[in-house]
Amino acid sequence: MNRRQPKLTASLLCADPLRLGDELTSLREAGVDYIHVDMADGHFVPFLGIGIEEAKAARGATSIPLDVHLLVSNPNVWTPMVLDELSPAAVTFHAEATDHAYLLAQTIRAKGALAGVALNPATAISTIECLLPTVDMVLLMTTNPGFTRQILIPDMIEKIADLRRLIHDKGLNIHICADGNVGFENAPRMAAAGADILVCGSSSIFDGSRGGIVAATADFRRKLAEATTIMDDSRTKKQAEQNRLQEYSRQVAAEIRETLERIDVAEVERLIDALTAARRVFIHAVGRVLLSLQCLGKRLNHLGIECQSVGAMDEKPIGPEDLLLIASGSGESRLPAEIARIAKNKGARLALITSADRSTIKSLSDVVVHLPCPTKNEPRRGVASVQLMSTLFDQSLHVFSDVLALDIQDRKHLRHDEVWQRHANLE
């Protein structure tokens, strides 16, 4: 992913006024995209910015387009003057300063300039959401305007990201300009969040310790490029991981679906008949399989079929009218096999959910449902799986239990609210 580097707009306020011509020449050599002109009235912010005559002088001394930022309380008055006197490439007004934002944006665009709207840090993005289709740029103040030597307000990075998402969701093509402490450390984060225009001042290209404007700008672009590469690499790795997880999710879901589709319906019918005919259902399994089978036991209790786990504190004696339901992928688990023998000796019926064609427990069973899954003993049988050992059996059993419960609920003509009344109410 190769994203375009953000455009740089150099803050004229940070230039040396005694060497303005040389500074503008250096900015042109450095290849900055705009000259950022802060025009203030001393009222909206507590300072006087670049005056109209100073801006005109800069305009006449360079071919770099002007980007005018109006930090004034009456932008409706200033905007026509700025458009006529400076012929700027862009004019940005503050949403907080006008009740006629639509008119201002239309006025700016009518003169062929980009229309921008600015927001102070505490102003919510929602205040300009309806205005977005009418503007070309949103300038987000990332420090409080009118005060120098400020540090970045951390929440502004997320604000940039939120605005970029909103613009994307609306299908618009709007620039986001970050203004305030756009330094070597902060700029990459701003760009990564979605800012594609950066207002550069004393913490970046006018940093006197970096050998002049041309050298500082080159260092700044290099820092942006390096950070962008690192961030893009990180995104690429994150996307690859997400793609891998999504692929595994698709594979696992497909395996479970194929397993359920290959279950013999006649076997399921016999199991349902056995479950609904039993006075009481006892369930038993080991390991992860037990967790899935316990879910079925809970569903059966909700459906009015008395069900309990073997070994429970309130376990009742099993008899000829009862059913023991065992789940075992291989059908050879020692403890379930021994419990199956005891249940048969007591006259109970035995139902087995398994993947094995032949097994000790199956030889004792009255009803068998086969889930065509790999087992520890037969890792290549049934549905091909990317998962280890009998994981597919556990997963398929869990989903099969829910499907089985829905079928029984339908046969017993139970409404959801009737089932809900039997649900545990202390959880």
- Residue-wise pLDDT for 2-60, tens only, equals 457 899 999 999 999 889 999 999 999 999 999 999 999 989 998 888 999 999 999 99
Residues 407 and 299 sit within 8 Å (Cβ to Cβ): no
In this predicted structure, what is the pLDDT of residue 226?
Answer: 86
Residues 266 and 389 sit within 8 Å (Cβ to Cβ): no
User: At 263, which amino acid appears?
Assistant: I
Q: Tell me, rounded to whole angstroms, the distance of Cα 172 from its chain centroid.
A: 21
Whether 1 has a pLDDT exceeding 70, the answer reads no
Residues labelled as active-site residues? 38, 179
d(CA 185, CA 142): 14
Whether 259 has a pLDDT exceeding 90, the answer reads yes
In this predicted structure, what is the pLDDT of residue 120?
Answer: 97
d(CA 3, CA 347): 73
Residues 206 and 11 sit within 8 Å (Cβ to Cβ): yes
In this predicted structure, what is the pLDDT of residue 382?
Answer: 82
Domain locations in the chain as residue ranges? 7-237, 265-421
% of the chain residues with pLDDT over 90? 76
CB atoms inside a 10 Å sphere around CB 291:
12
Closest CA to 297 of 229, 374, 351: 351
Angle between helices 287-302 and 391-411 (to 10 degrees): 10
Q: Tell me, rounded to whole angstroms, the distance of Cα 407 from its chain centroid.
A: 36
Alpha helices by DSSP H, 118-176? 155-169
**β-bridge mates for residue 221, sequence order:** none
* Higher-scoring residue by pLDDT: 375, 309: 309
* Higher-scoring residue by pLDDT: 424, 163: 163
Closest CA to 248 of 376, 395, 403, 397: 395
* Higher-scoring residue by pLDDT: 322, 148: 322
Topology annotation, domain 7-237: TIM Barrel (3.20.20)
Whether 397 has a pLDDT exceeding 60, the answer reads yes
Alpha helices by DSSP H, 131-212? 155-169, 186-193
SS3 category, 114: strand
d(CA 169, CA 167): 6
d(CA 202, CA 70): 20
Domain 265-421, CATH: 3.40.50.10490
Average pLDDT over residues 223-247: 82
Average pLDDT over residues 228-245: 79
d(CA 297, CA 109): 69
- With a CB cutoff of 8 Å and minimum separation 6, the contacts of 269 are none
For residue 214, the surrounding DSSP H or E stretch is helix 213-261
Closest CA to 55 of 77, 73, 78, 32: 78
Give the DSSP letter of residue 128.
Answer: G
Residues 148 and 170 sit within 8 Å (Cβ to Cβ): no
Give the C-alpha distances (Å, rounded to integers) separating 413 from 185, 270, 274, 278, 304: 66, 19, 18, 18, 12
* pLDDT band of 425, cuts 50, 70, 90: low
In this predicted structure, what is the pLDDT of residue 227?
Answer: 80
Sheet of 307-309, strands arranged across = 307-309, 281-284, 323-328, 349-354, 367-370
Alpha helices by DSSP H, 318-425? 334-345, 360-364, 391-411, 416-421
In this predicted structure, what is the pLDDT of residue 148?
Answer: 66
d(CA 264, CA 261): 8
* pLDDT band of 320, cuts 50, 70, 90: very high
- Residue-wise pLDDT for 135-181, tens only, equals 999 999 999 987 767 899 999 999 999 999 999 999 999 999 999 99
CB-count burial class (<10 Å; 0-12, 13-18, 19+) for 198 = buried
Residues 289 and 315 sit within 8 Å (Cβ to Cβ): no
Closest CA to 102 of 124, 80, 126, 133: 133
Instruction: Count helices and strands (H / E) in the chain.
Output: 13, 13
SS3 category, 325: strand
- Residue-wise pLDDT for 325-374, tens only, equals 999 988 888 899 999 999 999 999 999 999 988 889 999 999 999 999 98
